């Protein structure tokens, strides 16, 4: 549903039956209520509808009984009202009817308002019931007059309605709407939506072309604009200028400064220079030529990120966390985050967590849950939760059984822990955790005992593949129907895999790497439930590996670290990372982790308010702020 508005000039102020002098006094009274400091925003509702309104109020209103006031609308419609009820939802009407601006004078029982009668009807509905119907046709009128007459409950309802309508096709109009009516919370929510859904907006919105220059500059210069590449910013500029080339091309130098061209490949910047409006603009060429020269002769200068925004990557919306694992012969508690905009891994230094490997990991509601695992001595049934905003760990309810080599998956707000090894036997038991009540419950056991398997959720089912049963590496696979609490077999993989990673992406399952009982594997295979008869091979990884982490980020599947007895001489754990392009069936190298690790786990957390702390920009600015000149841990950022 599209949500479009034409912003109108503010209506004339309310006419009341007092003299002009009293009107001026009422205005002065309003100013006393709202001194020079800004009024607290009431856009987002809190506990709307939690108060029960007596039904007798509406009965009295409909029957015009016990009414003690009259309101005249601008079109001549007259409403009989109960002054106390209207005054209870509007400080304006309270001041008017009680005549509090004229101490000792008789109370007012009649008022004239510049509100259409159908809109005032809705305002009365709210006063008597706590609710009113808000829709696309009336929301702007309701918000205008509710704000003018200080019926803040209706302001909240209108803003919530607008928030519920947010989508790429209308978000820019809603953002403009919020600014026009000084709805600060709604404006911030709208700005966040534009920031986070910019790629969809670029494809779908016709409102982009209607933006004013300052509005477009504000959006494109945002450090947290959620884009995969600066090429998208350039496409937005082209789309805006092409609407009216003759008049808008003069703004190109300002707009071009929003493109972080220093983060683009050399070839992309050359293509930008070939666009006719840039070719014809000497100022634009002066902006780009020095960067072209630097891209031809790159230098790893940390100062460029801090001192020149053209080289500064955006703050990523999605942060990949890699936690724990086995390194240098012992478990570790290290956390690294991956900044996809800068292609860098960064160490998270100030978290307190016990070393753990062969555990499970998943993200839910902005929190990271670490399930089970092994520390070299103990097999854990414990669960820990990391808050990446507060940067603290806390203990959660324990599982029924210790589980290392456990398969963990999140589905419909619950965490599933499947199989694993308890220190004595490989298990087929399964259980799930509800974070709302902090409690685990056992579910139907799997058909097979499995440790070192991998699980994923897809289309309302949970799948698990491969693993080790204590005597053999398996290629079998099965799925769990959450509705009937039942496991059933699916076609087995083409290769037996222990230490495998299973990823659900779009409508398919992808099984990567693992150990077949003889060697670590580079092979991978794909299965599409409901379409495929069997698993089929896909492009092989560059690096053979088992017991590694996987995550989906920017529509790529990342494989991270792992165990490899061939790849690096003298070492069996690796820091090598690569990603798989599903659309083109290709693999690409990614920046390596700082630490060689196997038996680690990874997950992605989106929309963190402190995402900058986990980004390259945040780390570099922190180093510079400490007076280190970027020298401390510089190799971490620019290896």
Q: What is the pLDDT of residues 519-565, one digit of tens each?
A: 999 999 999 999 999 999 999 999 999 999 999 999 999 999 999 97
- Taking every pair of C-alpha atoms in the chain, what is the biggest distance, in angstroms? 97
Which residue did the predictor score with more confidence, 7 or 605?
605
Q: Name all domains of the chain by residue range, CATH numbers in brackets.
A: 20-192 (3.30.710.10), 211-298 (1.25.40.420), 319-637 (2.120.10.80)
**CB-CB contact of 414 with 436 (8 Å):** no
Query: Scanning the structure block, which residue is given the tokens 């220093």?
Result: 262
Is the pTM here over 0.85, yes or no?
Answer: no
Helix ranges restricted to H, 6-71: 20-33, 55-62
Which two structure tokens, joined as six digits, stand for 131? 């609710």
3-state secondary structure of 535: coil
Helix (H) / strand (E) containing 451 = none
558 — phi, psi (to 5°)? -95, 135
Which residue did the predictor score with more confidence, 110 or 570?
110
Which two structure tokens, joined as six digits, stand for 540? 């092989």
Of 189, 163, 176, 148, give the one whose Cα is nearest residue 48: 163
How many Å apart are CA 374 and CA 356, to the nearest integer? 6
How many Å apart are CA 348 and CA 384, to the nearest integer? 17
- pLDDT band at 130, cuts 50/70/90? confident
Which two structure tokens, joined as six digits, stand for 106? 């008789």
252 — phi, psi (to 5°)? -60, -40
Residue 145's Cα: distance from chain center in Å?
A: 33
- pLDDT band at 439, cuts 50/70/90? very high
41: pLDDT strictly greater than 60: no
**CB-CB contact of 626 with 314 (8 Å):** no
CB-count burial class (<10 Å; 0-12, 13-18, 19+) for 209: middle
CB-count burial class (<10 Å; 0-12, 13-18, 19+) for 292: middle
Q: What is the pLDDT of residues 614-626, one digit of tens each?
A: 999 998 888 777 5
**CB-CB contact of 123 with 154 (8 Å):** yes
421 — phi, psi (to 5°)? -125, 130
Which two structure tokens, joined as six digits, stand for 52? 């029960």
């Amino acid at each position: 549903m599209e949500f479009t508005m034409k912003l109108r000039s503010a209506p004339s102020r309310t006419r009341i039956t007092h003299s002009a002098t009293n009107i001026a006094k009422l205005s002065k009274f309003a100013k006393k209520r709202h001194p020079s400091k800004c009024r607290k925003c009431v856009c987002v509702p809190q506990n709307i509808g939690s108060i029960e309104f007596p039904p007798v109020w509406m009965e009295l209103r409909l029957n015009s009984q016990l009414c003690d006031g009259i309101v005249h609308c601008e079109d001549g419609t007259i409403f009989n009202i109960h002054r106390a009820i209207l005054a209870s939802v509007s400080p304006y009407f309270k001041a008017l009817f009680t005549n509090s601006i004229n101490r000792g004078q008789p109370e007012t029982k009649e008022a004239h308002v510049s509100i259409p009668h159908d809109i005032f009807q809705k305002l009365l509905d709210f006063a008597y019931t706590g609710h009113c119907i808000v829709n696309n046709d009336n929301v702007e009128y309701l918000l205008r007059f509710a704000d003018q007459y200080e019926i803040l409950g209706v302001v909240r309802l209108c803003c919530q309605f607008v928030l519920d309508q947010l989508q790429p096709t209308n978000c820019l109009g809603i953002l403009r709407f919020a600014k026009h009516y000084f709805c600060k919370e709604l404006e911030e929510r709208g700005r966040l939506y534009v920031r986070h859904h910019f790629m969809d907006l670029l494809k779908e919105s016709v409102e982009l072309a209607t933006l004013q220059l300052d509005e477009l500059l504000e959006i494109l210069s945002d450090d947290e604009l959620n884009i995969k590449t600066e090429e998208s910013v350039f496409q937005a500029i082209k789309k805006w200028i092409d609407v009216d080339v003759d008049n808008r091309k003069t703004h190109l130098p300002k707009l071009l400064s929003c493109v972080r061209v220093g983060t683009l490949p050399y070839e992309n910047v050359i293509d930008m220079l070939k666009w006719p409006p840039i070719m014809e603009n000497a100022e634009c060429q002066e902006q780009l030529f020095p960067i072209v020269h630097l891209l031809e002769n790159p230098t790893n200068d940390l100062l460029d990120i801090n001192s020149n925004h053209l080289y500064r990557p955006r703050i990523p919306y999605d942060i990949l966390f890699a936690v724990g694992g086995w390194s240098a012969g012992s478990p570790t508690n290290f956390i690294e985050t991956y900044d996809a905009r800068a292609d860098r891994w960064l160490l998270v230094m100030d978290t307190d967590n016990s070393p753990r490997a062969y555990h499970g990991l998943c993200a839910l509601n902005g929190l990271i849950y670490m399930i089970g695992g092994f520390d070299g001595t103990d097999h854990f049934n414990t669960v820990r939760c990391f808050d990446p905003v507060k940067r603290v760990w806390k203990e959660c309810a324990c599982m029924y059984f210790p589980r290392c080599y456990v398969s963990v998956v999140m589905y419909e707000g619950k965490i599933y822990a499947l199989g694993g090894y308890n220190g004595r036997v490989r298990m087929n038991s399964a259980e799930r955790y509800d974070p709302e009540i902090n409690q685990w419950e056992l579910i139907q056991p799997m058909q097979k005992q499995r440790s070192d398997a991998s699980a994923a959720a897809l289309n309302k089912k949970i799948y698990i593949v491969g693993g080790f049963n204590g005597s053999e590496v398996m290629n079998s696979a099965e799925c769990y129907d959450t509705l009937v609490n039942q496991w059933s077999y699916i076609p087995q993989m083409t290769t037996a895999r222990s230490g495998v990673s299973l990823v659900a992406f779009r409508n398919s399952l992808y099984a990567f790497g693992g150990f077949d009982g003889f060697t670590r594997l580079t092979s991978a295979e794909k299965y599409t439930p409901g379409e495929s008869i069997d698993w089929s091979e896909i492009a092989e990884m560059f690096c053979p590996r088992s017991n590694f982490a996987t995550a989906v980020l920017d529509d790529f599947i990342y494989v991270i670290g792992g165990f490899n007895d061939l790849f690096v001489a003298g070492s069996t754990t690796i820091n090598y990372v690569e990603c798989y392009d599903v659309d083109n069936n290709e693999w690409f190298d990614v920046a390596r982790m700082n630490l060689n690790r196997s038996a680690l786990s990874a997950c992605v957390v989106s929309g963190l308010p402190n995402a900058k702390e986990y980004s390259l920009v945040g780390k570099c600015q922190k180093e510079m702020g400490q007076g280190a000149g970027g020298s401390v841990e510089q190799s971490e950022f620019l290896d």
